[in-house]
Structures are given as structure tokens and as C-alpha cells.
Amino acid sequence: MAEANPDQSHAARRITHEEALARAREIVARMTLDEKIGQLNYDAPAIERLGIPSYNYWNEGLHGVARAGVATVFPQAIGLAAMFDPDELERVAGVIATEGRAKYNAYSAHGDRDIYKGLTYWSPNVNIFRDPRWGRGQETYGEDPYLTSRLGVAFIRGLQGDGRYLKLAATAKHFAVHSGPEAKRHEFNAVASRKDMEETYLPAFKAAVEEADVESVMTAYNATNGQPCSVNDDLLGRHLYGEWGFRGHVVSDFMALEDVHENHHYTADAAETMAAAIRAGLDLCAGRCSGATREAIERGLVTEDDVTHAVERLYATRVRLGMFADDCEWDAIDYGRNDTAAHRTYNRAIAPKTFVLLKNDGILPLDRSKLRAIAVTGPNADSTKAILGNYFGRQSHKSTILEGIERACGDDVRVYSGLGCSLFGAHAESTLSHEDERESEAVINAEQADVTIAVLGLDSTIEGEQGDAGNSMGAGDKADLSLPGRQRHLLERLLETGKPVVVLLASGSALTLDGLEEHPNLRAIMQVWYPGGQGGDAVADVLFGTSAPSGKLPVTFYRDCSGLPDFEDYAMAGRTYKYMTGEALYPFGYGLTYAGTALGGLDVRVGDPEAEDRSGAGEGSGEGSGPARTVRVAVDVTNTGSRGEEQVVQAYVRNPVSPLAPRNGQLAGFRRVSLAAGETKRVAFDLDPDAFTVVDEDGERITDGTRFEVAVGVSQPDARSAALCGVEPLKATVEL
């Protein structure tokens, strides 16, 4: 299901930044100094004498309209990343934008302009998930800057639409070099080399600005290379406004400006902070120190003209959103377009594309006609938190995993259910009982059943943002990758019954079963992330074969933390699939399907893409601006199974000569393809031109070598991936 634009002709005449800024100047010119200062705050007061209503800039739409009542709750962002499908993600964002506009139109008509009810959305999170212990990694699109860039651009385009006015204003966050630890984020200084900045931490933000024309950028709490991000001249001045030509507005994270003087001790007080922020190019204070701006002016730290320019940029965004127009096409979106049956159906349909099948000996999909009874257990089986993730709305049709399985089984298959254990503690329900008091029930149920579905993992009380993850000892971060509490012990007991066990992992990050992955009775493992409002029904669809899993890991699943650098070390050496030295438990890019795949006919061609047939290329496949000599790959993909499948074809490039290149190569293109049983399709796409360059220690992108190894398959070209998938990538050498 795609969200159609009501007037495609508007795409050619989007209101420009220049037009919006000219109108904004007319509006701001009528304001007094105090009125302008008031507009620097995210909760901007009304200016009644000018007929300007109050406006709160803070809204969230990470995977659905959040915190504003009922809305479609899509799978968490990390799950959406596992689709490896920018086109689909853009459609998801289009649905979010429709529901966001529907809510805004209704709320504002009733004079309700509170938080979470505006049109400026503080999404997406395009930070790099560099360390699996980071609790907020679930909000991102994974560990790879190329994948994150493609998905970030798609999501922003979907939110902002293609009309004359912006459907919503997207915000790329958190700028920049932000990925934990959460407990120290308000005073932490992330030190990153120029090479790591250019190679890993900045590409997604650059793409958001240059390719998606993102309307807003949010600064991070932390400092980067010694300077708090909200006043960081290098990030804001040199990169954002300078090299990339950003034309929107910059907002701080909530209370991040207070951190500048209170925690980083970079400035002496709020007045100095506001002056430094405005001079650096920050326009909007999400916090409470914007009122110090008048003092900053009186002390000569900043001028009224500087303040005026900041307010003009803020109002240019509001102009681009159509707030001062009577011809905004999005004003016609009715409240009835929120949380529609069609949106829920779409949500359920795409969720299987986010699920990553990590192990399957053939037990999945389950054949209901051969089942007498199944057992469903685990702390996440009947948990609403485990389907929602963080930053979510309220789903109108609840579907926990247990409920989805029960609906799918109906009266035909008996479902035994029980909690099994707590998510993180020794007691499942009552401290009056002995520890593990619900474990025997789970074992008894397993003994009665033909197969046990163990739903384990985490939820937002364990991993998430500082302050939200209330049960976490690490302010939302994980200490290790093991299952918390007594979950592993429960799994051991279930495996001891001798009955087949299928593990579903609900989490926003990598987990390990500490060796139980290889137990002969553990027949299948599937990572379902936080699967969204229709997640339970979608999981049941996959378990019983109504649909099939087709996600790929956007992050590496490590065996443990022993080979990882210190969590506070922001150097990329030893991190992610590109730089790690050991063998992954489950590698980035890995994921099984229910069918089989064969590859053949690899062709790698160097030339001018305009002179070639572009029928196979598409958004997210790596095409775009770059050197005149573009590298295109084409490969035949065959579904060797007896049922349809969706597969993700991936291309990786390795520079075998340059010491500056990532040691394991890098993702350079990908394409999702749908195949009927026995069908063969030829899939073609261009590779990312940056994959044929390297970044030197000064942060400059250069050419270092002319001979490259290209591998095309359904996974990375490493030995572990090939062994798990049973499909060897095809390889070629290309000369440039």
C-alpha cells in the first residue's frame, strides 16, 4: 500500500528555501526583540497582535506518530532497516506523514497546539549503531553508513512529501558522533579522528542535507572532539552550513544547551551558551535557557541581527509547511486518515520483511495440520512493550505475539501458555515464591506440546534512552549481549525436554544465547526486533507460513563483548563488520528465507550509466552522482524453492591494496527482489562511487588503487555468512 500524493504536479514547484525565507523575513520584521527571543524556544508563545498562534516544535515519528494518541505503530526503526528497502521505507514514512498531518489539522482546528501535535518531527535518528551495547541503537538504521544514508534519505523524503509545501518537516538527529554511553551523554566528549568522521559518522547527515533536503538537524548532547555539539563550529559551521549548504534550521536536543555550561563547563552561564549557539548556527532551544538571550545581547555576546536571522530560519520552515498559506494541499487531509484499516493491513504486511531468520533446520514454517498442541512461553510472549519499542503511539488493535499465535491456531491447535520467567529478575511474579516460580509451568507446557515457541529478549525498560529504560543499570545501555535475568536458564530447561524449540528474539540490538544456538533441540531462531502494533499477528503469519521472513541484519551479532573496544572509545578500529577482526555469530547482511536461492551470470561493467539500460536500477541501489566511470553489477537470481520469496541482493567492494581501506570491504549496493517459486530475475544496480575511494587521515576522500574486488550475493562474502546461508557470493575483479 502506498500513500498517493494528491497532486503530483506540485512536485515540480516545491516552495524554495529562498521563497520561504523572503516570506519569513516579512513576518519577523514586524516582531519586537522580546517577541523574537520568545520564538527561539521550542514551545514558542503566540504573538496575538500579529495573529500568530503558539507553536510547539517537538514531535516524534520514529516508526509512527508517537506520544499523540492512537496511531499506526510500525516496527521499530532497526527492524525497518532490516528490510534493506528504501522504497518501502519511504512508503512507511508517507503513511506516518499522512497520520501526522491528519492529527495536526484536527488538533489545531480545536486550538490544541501542545507538544507532540505539531508538524516538525524530530526523526529520523541517523546515528551509527557502532556498539551493540548502546540502548538507543534500536532507533537507528544500523551500523553501516551507506545503508543508513540510503534509508535516512528515503525516510526524510517520505515524511516531507513531494507537494508544494512540506507534508511534515523531518529532522536528522543527533548531530553528531553520538552512540552512547547513555549515562554520560550530558558531559561526554566523543573523540573521533578526521578519517572516522568522514568515513563513518558524517555520511548519513551529509546525504540527508544534500540528497533529501532535510528541513531540520538536531544537535547531540555530547561534545565532539572537545566542543559541545550545540555550539560546535566544525560540525555546524564547516560541515553543515559550509560544505553541505544546509538551508533549514538547527535545534538542540532537549536540555542540551543547559549541558553546555552546567555539565560540559564550556561556557560560564546560559547567556554565554545562547550566544555561542546562535553564532555557531543553532536556531531553536529545546530547553529553558533561551530566555537568557536578552542578557547575551546586553552583554555584547550576540547581536539582535543574529537573533533575527535565527528566527527567520525558523519561520522559513513554518512557511514551507504551509502554515501561512491558504493553498496548502495537505490541509485537506482529514482526521479519518489516521490509523485506518488499510494502514494496519499494510503494517502487518511489511513486518515479515523486518524479521531476520537466523537459524532454521526446516521446522519453519510450522504445518498446522500436523500439530496437536504448541506451547508459547517467555517474558515477551504476551508483552505489549515487546512489540512497541520506544517512541511509539498507542495501537488501536493490540496484537502481542501470544495473541497472534492464539488467533492463528483458533480451535484447531491447542495453545499452552505461561510466563516462564521474568524479563530481568529471578522472580516472574511474586517474591513470596521461590525463584523461577513460573519455570515448571513452562516445562510442563512444553512436555504437552509438539513444539515450544520461546519468546525471549529485551524491551524498552532494559534498553533505550536514558531515563526511559527504568530497569536498566546502564541508563538504557546493556552491560553485555547475554539474555538478562533467568531467560537462558528457562531456555535450557525447555531444551532438556527433548521437544523442538523455536526461539523468537524481541530486542532492538544484538543478543547471544551463549552457545545454545547450536543445541540440537533449538530448531529455529528468528529476530523479530520490536515488530509494531500488528507485530503479533505478523509473527504468527510467518510461523505458520502465511508469509515469510526476508530481513537481513543491519548490525553485526557478535559472539560476546570480549573482542570489542571500550564502549567509550569512538575509534572505528575493531568495530562493525567493516573493521572487526574476529568471526561474527551472525554477520551484518545475513538472514535466511523459507526458499532457496541460486546465483549466476554475474556481470560487472565499468562505463557511463546514462549509456546503459537502467531498468534494473532503483532508489537505494547505490546510483547517484559520482565519477564519470560508474560501476554496475548485474546478476541472475533464482528462487530454487517451492514457494515465493523476497531476497536482498547485496554487493560489497574491497580494496585489497590500500592500508586506508576497511579491512573487510564495504556494502556498496543492494536491491530487494521478489521471486515466485522457480523464477529467475536479472537484477542490476550501480555501486556507490565512494566504495572505490578511501579516506585518508586528514579526512579527505582520495583514490588509492585501481583494482577492486567485487562480491555479489545474498550476504557478505565472508566464510561465516556463506556457511550459514549456503549460498556463495559471486566474485569479480574490476579495474578503474
Q: What is the largest CA-CA distance in the chain?
A: 80
Q: Would you say 255 and 289 are in contact if contact means Cβ atoms under 8 Å apart?
A: no
Predicted confidence (pLDDT) at residue 471 exceeds the cutoff of 80? no
Q: Which of 173, 157, 148 is closest to 93 using CA atoms?
A: 157
Cα–Cα distance measured from residue 696 to residue 703, given in angstroms and rounded to the nearest whole number: 10
pLDDT category, 621, cuts 50, 70, 90?
very low
- The three-class DSSP label of residue 323 is coil
Cis peptide before 181 (omega within 30 of 0): yes
Report the distance separating Cα 389 and Cα 461, nearest Å: 9
Q: Helix 487-496 and helix 439-448: axis angle, to 10°? A: 30
Place of cell 529476530: 527
pLDDT at 535: 97
Residue whose C-alpha cell is 500439530: 371
Look up the pTM and report it.
0.96
Region 107-112: mean pLDDT is: 97
Q: Is 253 a catalytic residue?
A: yes
- Give yes or no for a contact between 684 and 694, defined as CB atoms under 8 angstroms apart: no
pLDDT of residue 10: 39
Average pLDDT over the chain, rounded to an integer: 95
Of 313, 167, 156, give the one whose Cα is nearest residue 249.
313
Rounded to 5 degrees, what angle do the CA atoms 481, 484, 486 make? Answer: 135
The 3-state DSSP class for residue 284 equals strand
DSSP 675-720: E-TT-EEEEEEEPPGGGG-EE-TTS-EE---SEEEEEEESS-SSHH
Please tell me the CATH superfamily of domain 350-555, with its number: Glycoside hydrolase family 3 C-terminal domain (3.40.50.1700)
Q: Give the tens place of pLDDT for each residue, 308-366.
A: 999 999 999 999 999 999 999 999 999 999 999 999 999 999 999 999 999 999 999 99
Average pLDDT for 148-169:
98
Structure-block grid coordinates of residue 279? 553564532
Helices (H), 610-714: none
| Measured torsion, CA atoms of residues 139, 142, 145, 146, in degrees rounded to the nearest 10 | -110
- Three-state DSSP at 4 gives coil
Give the pLDDT of residue 474: 76
Domain boundaries, the chain: 8-68+75-337, 350-555, 597-735
Which residues, in sequence order, are CB contacts of 175 under 8 Å at separation 6+?
205, 217, 218, 219, 220, 229, 235, 236, 240, 250
Q: Residue 625: which pLDDT band, with cuts at 50, 70 and 90? A: very low
In what helix (H) or strand (E) does residue 359 lie, and over which residues does it extend? strand 356-360
Per residue in 528-557, pLDDT tens? 999 999 999 999 999 999 999 999 999 999
- Three-class SS of 301-314: CCCHHHHHHHHHHH
Cβ pair 321, 97 in contact under 8 A: no
Confidence of residue 469 (pLDDT cuts 50, 70, 90): confident
Closest CA relative to residue 483, chosen from 379, 587, 354: 379
List pLDDT tens digits, range 477-508: 999 999 999 999 999 999 999 999 999 999 99
CATH architecture of 8-68+75-337: Alpha-Beta Barrel (3.20)
Task: In whole angstroms, give the CA distance from residue 233 to residue 11.
Answer: 35
Asked if omega into 174 is within 30° of 0 (cis), the reply is: yes
3-state helix, strand, coil in the chain (%, to 5): 35, 20, 50
- Answer yes or no: is pLDDT of 584 > 70: yes
Q: How far is CA 304 from CA 29, 37, 249, 293, in A?
A: 12, 9, 18, 9
Alpha-carbon distance values, 291 to 39, 57, 269 (Å): 10, 17, 12
CA-to-CA dists, residue 34 to 30, 44, 56, 311, 319, angstroms: 12, 12, 18, 12, 21
3-class DSSP state for residue 21?
Answer: helix
**Residue 620 pLDDT > 70, yes or no?**
no
Residues 408-424 pLDDT 10s: 999 999 999 999 999 99
**Percent of the chain at pLDDT above 90?**
93
pLDDT tens column, 694-714: 999 999 999 999 999 999 999
> For 267, how many CA atoms within 13 A lie in the half-sphere containing its CB?
24
Looking at CATH, the fold of the domain delimited by 597-735 is given as: Immunoglobulin-like (2.60.40)
In this structure, the number of other CB atoms found within 10 A of the CB of residue 213 comes to 18
Please give the residue that has the higher pLDDT: either 220 or 617: 220
Residue 3: per-residue pLDDT:
57
**Spatial contact of 307 and 40, defined as CB atoms under 8 Å apart:** yes
Look at residue 618 in the predicted model and tell me its pLDDT.
40
Q: Tell me which of 144, 253, 537, 718 is the catalytic residue.
A: 253
